[in-house]
A and B are shown apart, each in its own frame.
Chain A
Amino acid sequence: MSDTNAKSVSYVRDTMLDEQTPPLAEVGVIKWVRENLFSGPLNTVLTIISLYVVYWIVSHIGPWLVNGIWDAGSLTECRAIRNATLGEGASAACFAVITERWPQLIFGFYPRDAYWRPVLALVVFLLGIAPILFDSLPRKMLVGTVATPFVMYMLLWGGSIWGPIVIGLGFIVGVFAFRFLAAINALLGTIGAILGPILFWLLLAGPLISVLNGATTIGLPFISSKEFGGFTLSVVIGISAIILSLPLGILLALGRQSDLPIIKYSAVVFIEVIRGVPLIVWLFTASLLLNYFLPPGTNFDLMLRVIIMVTLFSAAYIAEVVRGGLAALPKGQYEAADALGLDYWKSMRLIILPQALKISIPGIVNTFIGLFKDTTLVVFIGLLDPIGLAGAIRASTEWNGVYWELFLFIGIMFFIFCYSMGRYSQYLEKKLQREHR
């Protein structure tokens, strides 16, 4: 057989060709560049324009950043150092303002020897919220989570330890009232759970606190809200509002879908009124208008007023986001829950809300990120958040004239907070994904 072939064909290759390296234009960087950046005349032009823009930005900002001066006592000194080392008129940032003022930008007017308190409060917060965020952690940590708000209050504001403890006792009273009364009747249990703590706080808490204070005083030095500023202020307002507005928003969303007209229309009016007016107006209301409604001489903490307003504002948005999630569920889910004989709260808790909230996660986190950034609006009512402090720092004779450096620092700090929230939301979405992939 081989003979016939040998006769009719002049040459037969009997070994395989060695593997050749592919042509240069078809591999690696060059291929990627050719396919993605220079695949046609239009893309080539766009690439060249983009490259020029990138070059222009880097060549203008790069030296300014790299030459940044970190150690100087004032802007004038910065300029003198720059003239001595880089020559007159060179571009150099004066980051010395950050070196000198970063504690102020972070902690505001908080007493210097108490800086550990907000830091520890943040650690406590992260530990407290961890079991909620990550379900791989032991469930026992949730006990600590319940205590977290009270510990944080103690750390941030200080004062006698008995105040937060007695307020916390009120919640325990509520739990017990529910346990005992719910055994008799579910509705009675709910009423008891609401009225019990309120009666406890109104009637018993005050005397109890003063008795305990009289017995022994344990606690940290009290630090008033006026001392809060910078990122401490932003984070405290942001975190409080985020944590309070989520449950409130969910309740509002359920209320809006309720069959009971009073509940339904109260929720609708609340949401539409709060949402229909800009946040800045609500902040002005909190800081200016409330002063007139309150009896003269009452000192209703401005920061607390702001937290309440921001909470209500974001609760209205959360409510609408959650309502979107509720509306996205097929009607069959509601009917299936009813068919199982679950009561309203059980069907919501076990069937409807887990699905609706999962759909709403991106929207909820989006609202939270917006809310956190909106805390900078408090600058307009005279609270010194990072932006307000940047203005105050710039007003000092040493740093008058510094501009971008402060905003850069503030921007990076906000980016870190908001980006982490965004990443967590993506992690959560991935983890909860149950649909066909």
Chain B
Amino acid sequence: MKKTVLFGALTVTGLVAGVASAATLDDVKARGTLNCGVSTGLAGFSVPDANGVWKGFDVGVCRALAAAVLGDPMAVEFVPTTGQTRFTALASGEIDILARNTTWTFSRDVDLKFDFVGVNYYDGQGFMVPKALGVSSAKELDGATVCIQTGTTTELNLADFFRTNNISYEPVPIETNAEAQQQYLAGACDVYTTDASGLAATRATFENPGDHILLPEIISKEPLGPLVRHGDNEWADITRWTLNALIAAEELGVTSANVAELAAAPTDNPEINRLLGSEGELGAMLGLAPNWALNAIAAGGNYGELFEQNIGESTPIGLARGLNAKWTEGGLIYSPPFR
């Protein structure tokens, strides 16, 4: 998620000139597959199933992109990346897009020379405590022992939060989320802090999820989104507008179920027509087929469908839309107009 930027920065600065910005679109088309960097396994976001097929919310973005560019959502080569290897893999051209719930920060965007093409999940750091602790706000956590993943921005956020509120804590450093679950359940720490989505996913796996609560405070902004290399604006446009197409589709009521029907004949809504290619030349402007957005939406559904299938309230992870509701329902998910 937010592993130290240092390693990435060190290696990426070695690449001053940057990899030759040959058109990624042409490379992908010539190769016939999209190389997509994902995490090595994060509940709900990118997970291989028993047959080795990758599934998840981040994976969905890559499949939509492959469908838009190549017409086949399965034409994706998933490259598992760790917190250390992800930025180099992207900068060196090993992958075409990194969809690994990476936080959009200034230094990553500017200094590491990447382009974040949007935000597919608004996250933030939260706290989980056992109900028995009798705490209802993070500000009451004075003197608590806190399980925290080392080398991440969550560690820094935590230090900031406790300092501003003038309370003390004792960190229990842990390496992975799985280890954190064990430590927290064994009572090695009173509090577990990480991204709120991760906390919810972790709590869902407990034997008695009801015994634990998430505190209301969210102490950091973690906008997670896919990113591509600097310098290939056409490719960045394609990825940005594929993501936007998924978001706009939800807003316009286009789903994987009705997309074929809506595209078959021009509808009353001109924006749907432009999006699905029955009106205007949007696909050609991107250098793609006119039905690019149709394919992207048909691949795994619109943004809302992807959310529901992978991390939504019907799944064991059970995340509410919250900030990630579309803007008309009080969330932040918003696409510029298709015209």
Contact = CB atoms under 8 A, between A and B. Distances in A.
How extensive is the interface on chain B, given as a class? 35 or more
A381 B89 CA distance: 10
Interface string A280-312: 000010011101100011000000000000000
B interface secondary structure, majority: loop
Contacts of A104: 48, 50, 52
A58 B178 CA distance: 25
22 contacts: A75-B205, A108-B52, A287-B88, A292-B92, A296-B22, A382-B80, A383-B80, A391-B176, A392-B40, A392-B48, A394-B41, A395-B47, A396-B41, A397-B44, A397-B47, A397-B317, A400-B43, A400-B201, A400-B202, A400-B205, A403-B178, A403-B182
A263 to B, nearest CB: 33
B81 interface: yes
A401 interface: yes
B77 interface: yes
Interface stretch (B13-21, B136-144, B213-221, B320-328): B13-21
Interface string B20-58: 101000010000000000001111101111111000000
Contact of B43 (A100, A108, A395): A395
B9 interface: no
A354 B207 CA distance: 61
Given A79-B207, A100-B50, A391-B41, A291 B79 contact: no
A393 B41 contact: yes
A13 interface: no
A405 to B, nearest CB: 12
A379 B40 CA distance: 9
A79 B77 CA distance: 35
A349 B20 CA distance: 52
A391 B40 contact: yes
Nearest first, the 6 closest Cβ-Cβ pairs linking A and B are A392-B41, A291-B92, A395-B41, A401-B205, A109-B52, A400-B205
B212 to A, nearest CB: 13
Given A382-B85, A397-B315, A292 B41 contact: no
A226 interface: yes
B88 A397 contact: no
Interface string A58-88: 0000000000000000011001000000000
Given A291-B88, A380-B82, A397-B317, A392 B178 contact: no
Contacts of B201: 400
B223 interface: no
Interface of B: 11, 14-15, 19-20, 22, 27, 40-44, 46-52, 77, 79-82, 84-85, 88-89, 92-94, 176, 178, 181-182, 201-202, 204-207, 315-317
Contacts of B207: 79
A76 B19 CA distance: 47
Nearest to B85: A382
Nearest to B42: A395
A255 interface: no
Main secondary structure on A side of the interface with B:
helix
Contacts of B89: 291, 382
Contacts of B81: 382
Given A104-B52, A394-B178, A395-B42, 17 more contacts: A112-B51, A226-B77, A284-B84, A288-B11, A291-B93, A296-B20, A296-B22, A381-B84, A382-B81, A383-B80, A384-B40, A388-B80, A395-B47, A397-B43, A400-B43, A401-B181, A401-B205
Contact of B47 (A109, A289, A392): A392
